[in-house]
Amino acid sequence: MSYSAIPKTYAAALAEASSSPEESEQELDSIVNIFRVESQFRNFFDTPSVKREDKEAVLLKTFQGKISETTLNFLLVLLRRGRFSFLSEIHDALKEELDRKAGRIRAKVRSYPALDEGTLSKLRNELKERFKSEFILESSEDPSLIGGFVVRFQDLSIDGSMKNQLKKVRQTLLESKLPVGVVYEN
């Protein structure tokens, strides 16, 4: 997934400023999850009528001593520069940047039925061998596939679903021409 310049710029700045970018990424992960789960907390920061100073006070009271100073200062910078709404995208861009530097690729796997851990492990090993990178697989179940799986990462898609197979068969049948003079009877 590719992000706009703002999240990428702030993610790069945090990675550079942090003595442990992985720790900052984990802290941002926790913070983003809090904003996802706690709607009142999220609404407080999304409300334009709430003064910036009040938002800063809540950030300090909530996170001071619980996260690194670098991450806390980063949150305050985002707030002061009006970029706090990009927090989730910055977090994703930071994960992407750290994965790129470590030679890891995050892939989404949709399947039906759900793949067990053994099958996921085999798939991970096949992808690693083929693309010469470590893979982090995020698996989900999708009944619309009828059977099989679809793997998506970067700009690639590997579609081994029954839905896709049936679509190809249908297309082949529609494109094939019947010989002239052939009559079908019931």
Selection from 101, 98, 60, 100 nearest residue 79 by Cα = 60
Chain segment 43-91, per-residue pLDDT in tens: 999 999 999 999 999 999 999 999 999 999 999 999 999 999 999 999 9
CATH class of 4-99: mainly alpha
> Any idea where the domains of the chain sit in the sequence?
4-99, 103-171
Burial of 74 (0-12, 13-18, 19+ CB in 10 A): buried
- Residue range 79-124, pLDDT digits in tens: 999 999 999 999 999 998 999 889 999 999 999 999 999 999 999 9
Question: In this structure, which CATH number among 3.40.50, 3.30.2290, 3.30.160, 3.40.30 belongs to the domain 103-171?
Answer: 3.40.30
User: Is 60 exceeded by the pLDDT of residue 1?
Assistant: no
Q: Quick check: pTM over 0.85?
A: no
